[in-house]
Structure formats: structure tokens, C-alpha cells
A and B are shown apart, each in its own frame.
Chain A
Amino acid sequence: MATENLTLGKALTMGLRKAMEDDPKVLIMGEDVGKLGGVFRITDGLQKDFGEERVIDTPLAESGIVGTAIGLAIRGYRPVCEIQFDGFVYPAYDQIVAQVAKMHYRSQGKVRLPIVIRIPYGGGIGAVEHHSESPEPYFIHTAGLKVVTCASPLDAYWMTQQAIASDDPIIFLEPKRRYWEKGDVDTSAPASSAYPLHASRVARPGTDATLVAYGPMVKVALDAATAAEEDGRDLEVIDLRTLSPLDLTPVYESVRRTGRCVVVHEAPQTLGTGAEIASRVTEECFYSLESPVLRVTGFDIPYPAARVEEEYLPDLDRVLDAVDRSFGW
């Protein structure tokens, strides 16, 4: 047993390290990932231990990072690309959406691109513009990409390794404002003990309503569930973990019991993850629903200035307000 109390960031570092140890084909590439260890220090120490050939400080160009990762993958490597912040993934958007996503399909399965694109995402850190965005819908909407996000150090540790081991191209979204939050991770446990990559999980069992969240919003949902206890409401919280493919079986199972569903995400509302979930839950659980599926999301505006981001981001109060509305329907 080697259970350690790790921050989510440190758990990611350890997951990457383990993946690099396990497979010499794994490469890390991105801006400032070498000596600096990345602006969030997620690759801290990796260049020192694995060398500049495997931990590559790239020129400053995101399209270049992902585009060359494609070539390296074709050549048999397993590149893990770091995009420095969510708002800087767009120069690579063409390579991701038009190239990464389609090569397996176009080649009728002859070309595999085992690429992981890590993106710190979401707000809540008081940053300037382009540093707080939630671009997941763009990627979820693109067939050929898989999209996952972790919410705990334990998941951070295992999901990085699983994503790197997968032959699917994976957008790996890291909830940057949770980088410093801690949790227990047993780093000596066998990989076979890890929860599957593309599976949702009940983060808190409950009976009265179902909260669906992922990434940075899981903590908000859990806090809301704790607060709701005071009102005598027992909320179930589901951590989606995988956004493409969605694994909604636990959600359906939950909503059939509770009859109420609230989806929480930071990304704007329109055509967001919540819209898809609401549609599917409505279809699957129609006769169990006591009220419509409600969404608590960012607004349909550009991410605002940091001093008002607290008002923009779903918080405990907004989640509880939605729960109230669900009960008051």
C-alpha cells in the first residue's frame, strides 16, 4: 500500500510519469513543459528524468504542436500534447477537428492516432481573458474525438494513464481551479483496479434529485448536496468523467429513482453538454420525471472579466436554486 494524499495537479504529474515509465514511446510536447514544468507545473521534473527527447519544449504554435503530434503518432509514438490554457487551443482547432478526428475513419482503420491533448480548462482562478474557458462542446460535437475530464486526484492519476494507453485520440480536460485540491491516491494499486476511463460514476448517493456534473463542477454539486441536507433533501451527484462518449446509464438509473435532474456545467448553455443530457434523459426517463431537466450553466456570453466571474460561474446557490425550482414545478 502506498496511499498518498496528493493534489490533483501532482496526481496528474505522477500519472504522466508512470505512463512514460511504462512505455518509451510516450512523449510530452508543449510550450514550457520542459525546465519550467509547464505553467501549472504538471510536467514538473519530467524533462529532467526523461530527457529533452521525450519531454519537448516546442516552438510557440499550437497548430504545430498538434500537427506534428499527428506525424509522430503515425511514426509510432504516443504524443501527449499540452495546450497551455483552454483559450489557446483554437490555433490547433483545424488540426484537431479536421485531421486528428478523421484519420482513423478516412483510412478505414489503417491509421491510428494515439494522441492525448491535455487542456487546463474552466474559470474561477481570477485570470485575464482566454484563460478561463470551457471549450468542451466543440470537441464533444466532433466525431472521432473522445473527451474526458477528471474531478479528483484519484481520477487524475488513473485517467491520464488510461488515456495515454488508449489508441483513441483523446481530449483530456483538466479542471485547473482544482489543481490544488487534495485526495488520496494509492499509487501502488494495479492498473486493473482502476475505474474504467469511459464510465460515469455516482460521486454521492442520494434519493431525492439527481445532480449531474463533471470536472470543476463536481465539487460545486457535492457542496450543494451537503447544503441541501439542511433542507432535508438528499441529492445524488453523478460525476460524468467521460463526455464523449457520454455514459448516461448511471444517470438514467438515478433519475428513474429521483424523478428530478439538474445538469451543471461552466460552459455556456446553448448547445452545451446539458442540452444533450436533457434530451437523452427526457427520452429515457420520460415517465419517471417529476419536472423538466434543468440546467445551471455559464451564460451565452463571452467569458466575462475576472471580477464578475463568480456571478458567471454556477455556484452552490445557483445549483440549490435550480433544485428548488425542480421541486417547485
Chain B
Amino acid sequence: MAKGATASRTRSTRSRAAASSEPEMVQLLTPDGKRIDSARDSYGTEYTVDFTDDEYRGLYRDMVVVRRLDAEAEALQRQGELGIWASLKGQEAAQVGSGRALRPQDMAFPTYREHGVLYCRGIDPIMPLGLFRGVDQGGWDPNEFKFQMYTIVIGAQTLHATGYAMGINKDGKVGGDDGEAVIAYFGDGATSQGDVNESFVWSSVYNAPIVFFCQNNQYAISEPIERQTRVPLYQRANGFGFRGIRVDGNDVLASYAVTRAALDQARSGEGPTLIEAYTYRMGAHTTSDDPTRYRLANELEEWQAKDPITRLGTYLREQKLVDEDFFTTVDEEAKAAAQHLRERVLTLPDPDPVSMFDHVYPHGSPEVDAQREKFTAYAASFEGSAH
């Protein structure tokens, strides 16, 4: 009978998880803009934030700007100026909250959607547009900004992040305030990849100073989260031997607080944490996608009521941290940033074709050199012709 009891317990857990539309998660700002003083995770850790008025306003500004830049990039794609765009719309709080939680010495390993984190790292927002326009494959210096290249192959970067974190351990850069930590970004779909699971094993075994930041935006292209898991994703961490926490990913305050705490634990030698930022992809997967084929409009409406920007705006207003001019000014700033982005995208030059032969190897290769030479001669044979 013991067996049967176990099975039915499992079943009832599952149906309970499925039945509750608001899963348990760390939240400091409710969808209607009410501040919760502090919140605990299931390990008893307490989270709160202690921001100055300016810092609250700053987070709001960040989110508005990244959403506006994102909308501009999407428009540029529609106008044929970008090949494709992967929108972050709906995930601003998860990205700005976690991005602002990073300390300068921390290293981030993004997917292809982390435009908000990129912005927080101080990288010119034009940078990812080169990749999506097809003029380069990611133009910033990953070491200068402590933000690695975008990774399109799902999950691959989580192992790189783990290895980097192992290096921090080896360098003795854990413990103390100058300790370093790593954050690896990935999506709900990515959690099925072998690489991601291997990165969990490695980081656990080597107690790596890493935070796995999974934005569960409910979809991997068309596949809903049920195709990847039957347990809440954050609970997977327990099986690997480290903490797993679900945070309201549409709450910038909680996203900040949980990430900051997890990074600080990592840098002080307490090992990895998996953060599941529970959020929603408001737009299409990319501009190539048509979400009407696989999801209903009322789902989007539900999530619009939990919009990350609106709720912080409400809070700012109700706490009288801002006047109405503030919102106008931020909108204008965002608009100007978008306009500036647009102007520069339009003038991004196409690469010189011969440059495709550059940087294949640090030490070069006579074979590549020979092909470059032939190509140059061939291209020159068209010069002056109508071609």
C-alpha cells in the first residue's frame, strides 16, 4: 500500500500545482502596485529592498527605456532593417532587476533575449542590432563589459558560465566583498537541454559561485512549459543539491532582491542558486513567429494586468515619489533613445566582404589566407563592370 500512497501523493501535488494560478514566489510589489515589506523563500531567507527615491525612479526609467528600444528594434525589423528580432517585452523587470543586482566585477552569460541586462551593463544598445541586422555576430567586448556574447544555441552558455565560475574559485576570488560571481541566463525551454543539466551538476559538485537565472516566460517558441516539466522549475535545483527560488519576474524589486542575495551568497562561497523568474513573453518568440497559432489572446490580457512597468508606475504615483511630469519626461527620454538608435542602425555599414576571412584563428591559417587572396582577385575582376 505504501507505493500506492506515494503515487497518489505525487498526483495530488501535481494537481495542486496546476490548480493554483498564482504559484508561490517571492514578491515585493504586487501587480496593483502595492509594496510588500519583505518576503521569504522556502528556505526562510528574507528579502526586502531599501531603495532611495532616485533608485526607484531609476528602475522605472530603465524598464521604460528598454521596452521602448525593444519596440524600436521590432519596428526596424518590420521595415526590413533587421533580419529578425527577439523581443524582451514583458520581461523587463526580470532583466532590469537582475541586471542591476550585478556588481561591477560579476560576469553575465546571456541568451539572445537579454537586451535589458545588456543595457544595465552599460553596453550601447546598438550592439545587438548588428547581430540581428546581419552585419556582425555580436560587436561588444565581453570582457570590458563583463557581459559575454549572445548565445543562440540553447543552453550552451550555462556550461561556459559554470566553467568561468570554477575559474573564480580557482583564483581564490570568493569570500569577502570583492568576491566575484557569475550569472547565467536561459529560458524555460533550455532547462530540458543536456548542457543545462550538466551545468547544474558541475556547479553543484564544484560549489561554483554562480546564479542560474531562468526566465520562465511560459513558452519555448510554441511549446508551453508543460512540455518541459511537471514540477515547478525552481524545484529542480534541490535534486542537484543547491537552492532553487521562484521570484515574481514581473516584479523588479523582488527580481533585484533575490538576485542580489543569490549573487552575494555565491561570491561568499555558498555555491549556486537557481532563480526561476516567473514571467511572460508578451510578444512573439521572434519577429518570424506567429503566436496566434498556439496561444489565446485572453492569456495575454491576464498577463497585461501583471505588467512590470505599470505596477512600478502605480507604486511611484501612490507613494508620491514622482509627479506626472516625471512620466512625460521618461517617455520623452525613451523616445529620444529610440530615435537615436534608429538613426544609427540605418547607417550601420555592411561589412566589407573580404573581412569574412578575418579572425578565424588567433594564429591565422595559410589555407584561409589563400582563399582570401583568391576571393580578392575574383572580386576585383568585377570592378568597373556593371555587376
Chain A interface residues (CB < 8 Å from chain B): 31-32, 34-37, 39, 57-61, 63-64, 87-88, 90-91, 126-130, 269-270, 299-302, 304-309, 311-312, 317-318, 321
Residues of chain B lying within 8 A (CB to CB) of residue A305 = 131, 134-137, 351, 356
Q: Smallest Cβ distance from B97 to chain A, in angstroms? A: 25
Complex partner residue of A308 from B220, B223, B356, B360, CB under 8 angstroms: B356
Instruction: Let me know if B351 and A36 touch, CB within 8 A.
Output: no
Among residues 186 to 215 in chain B, which have CB atoms less than 8 Å away from a CB atom of chain A?
189-190, 192-195
Q: Smallest Cβ distance from B198 to chain A, in angstroms? A: 11
Instruction: Let me know if B131 and A128 touch, CB within 8 A.
Output: yes
B133 beta carbon closer than 8 Å to chain A = yes
In this complex, which of A61, A130, A269, A270 has the most chain B Cβ atoms within 10 angstroms of its Cβ? A61
Question: Can you list 11 A-B contacts (CB < 8 A)?
Answer: A63-B194, A87-B152, A91-B153, A126-B83, A127-B83, A300-B365, A301-B360, A304-B356, A305-B136, A306-B134, A307-B351
Instruction: Let me know if A35 and B152 touch, CB within 8 A.
Output: no
Please report the C-alpha to C-alpha distance between residue A325 and residue B14 in the assembled complex, in whole angstroms. Answer: 69
Q: Smallest Cβ distance from B23 to chain A, in angstroms? A: 20
Among residues 353 to 372 in chain B, which have CB atoms less than 8 Å away from a CB atom of chain A?
353, 355-357, 360, 365, 367-368, 371
Complex partner residue of B221 from A39, A88, A128, CB under 8 angstroms: A39
A131 — nearest CB in chain B belongs to which residue? B152
In this complex, which of B134, B371, B379 has the most chain A Cβ atoms within 10 angstroms of its Cβ? B134
Instruction: Let me know if B134 and A128 touch, CB within 8 A.
Output: yes
Instruction: Let me know if A37 and B293 touch, CB within 8 A.
Output: yes
Q: Smallest Cβ distance from A91 to chain B, in angstroms? A: 7
Complex partner residue of B153 from A59, A130, A307, A318, CB under 8 angstroms: A130
Please report the C-alpha to C-alpha distance between residue A59 and residue B381 in the assembled complex, in whole angstroms. Answer: 51
Residues of chain A lying within 8 A (CB to CB) of residue B193 = 60-61, 91
Instruction: Let me know if B194 and A91 touch, CB within 8 A.
Output: yes
Across the A-B interface, give the 4 residue pairs with the lowest CB-CB distance, nearest first: A306-B134, A36-B222, A59-B192, A304-B356
The digit string for B102-129, where 1 denotes a CB below 8 A from any CB of A, is 0000000000100000000000000000
Q: Smallest Cβ distance from B190 to chain A, in angstroms? A: 7
Q: Smallest Cβ distance from B130 to chain A, in angstroms? A: 8
Q: Smallest Cβ distance from B290 to chain A, in angstroms? A: 8
Residues of chain B lying within 8 A (CB to CB) of residue A127 = 83-84
Residues of chain A lying within 8 A (CB to CB) of residue B343 = none
Q: Smallest Cβ distance from B151 to chain A, in angstroms? A: 10
Complex partner residue of A34 from B222, B351, B367, B387, CB under 8 angstroms: B222
Please report the C-alpha to C-alpha distance between residue A118 and residue B130 in the assembled complex, in whole angstroms. Answer: 31
Q: Smallest Cβ distance from B359 to chain A, in angstroms? A: 9
Instruction: Let me know if A32 and B83 touch, CB within 8 A.
Output: no
Residues of chain A lying within 8 A (CB to CB) of residue B192 = 59-61, 64
Instruction: Let me know if A128 and B84 touch, CB within 8 A.
Output: yes
Residues of chain A lying within 8 A (CB to CB) of residue B227 = 57-59
In this complex, which of A60, A130, A309, A312 has the most chain B Cβ atoms within 10 angstroms of its Cβ? A60
A129 — nearest CB in chain B belongs to which residue? B137
Instruction: Let me know if A307 and B350 touch, CB within 8 A.
Output: yes
Instruction: Let me know if A39 and B288 touch, CB within 8 A.
Output: yes
Q: Smallest Cβ distance from A92 to chain B, in angstroms? A: 10
Please report the C-alpha to C-alpha distance between residue A64 and residue B154 in the assembled complex, in whole angstroms. Answer: 14
What 12 additional pairs, Cβ within 8 angstroms, besides A59-B189, A61-B194, A305-B136? Answer: A31-B221, A57-B222, A60-B190, A88-B154, A91-B194, A126-B134, A269-B371, A301-B356, A306-B83, A308-B356, A312-B356, A321-B381
B235 beta carbon closer than 8 Å to chain A = no
Residues of chain B lying within 8 A (CB to CB) of residue A32 = 221-223
In this complex, which of A36, A39, A90, A302 has the most chain B Cβ atoms within 10 angstroms of its Cβ? A36
Q: When A60-B228, A128-B152 are in contact, do A299 and B134 touch as well, CB less than 8 Å? A: no
Please report the C-alpha to C-alpha distance between residue A31 and residue B193 in the assembled complex, in whole angstroms. Answer: 12
Residues of chain A lying within 8 A (CB to CB) of residue B326 = none
Q: When A39-B221, A91-B193 are in contact, do A300 and B83 touch as well, CB less than 8 Å? A: no
Residues of chain A lying within 8 A (CB to CB) of residue B367 = 270, 300
A304 — nearest CB in chain B belongs to which residue? B356
Complex partner residue of A311 from B137, B195, B356, CB under 8 angstroms: B356
Residues of chain A lying within 8 A (CB to CB) of residue B154 = 60, 88
Instruction: Let me know if B293 and A35 touch, CB within 8 A.
Output: yes
Residues of chain B lying within 8 A (CB to CB) of residue A318 = 378
Residues of chain B lying within 8 A (CB to CB) of residue A269 = 371
Please report the C-alpha to C-alpha distance between residue A34 and residue B227 in the assembled complex, in whole angstroms. Answer: 11
In this complex, which of A36, A128, A299 has the most chain B Cβ atoms within 10 angstroms of its Cβ? A128
Complex partner residue of A60 from B132, B189, B355, B357, CB under 8 angstroms: B189
B43 beta carbon closer than 8 Å to chain A = no
B51 beta carbon closer than 8 Å to chain A = no
Q: When A59-B192, A308-B356, A321-B378 are in contact, do A87 and B221 touch as well, CB less than 8 Å? A: no
Instruction: Let me know if B351 and A301 touch, CB within 8 A.
Output: no
In this complex, which of B195, B222, B381, B387 has the most chain A Cβ atoms within 10 angstroms of its Cβ? B222
A84 — nearest CB in chain B belongs to which residue? B221
Q: Smallest Cβ distance from B16 to chain A, in angstroms? A: 23
Please report the C-alpha to C-alpha distance between residue A48 and residue B227 in the assembled complex, in whole angstroms. Answer: 17
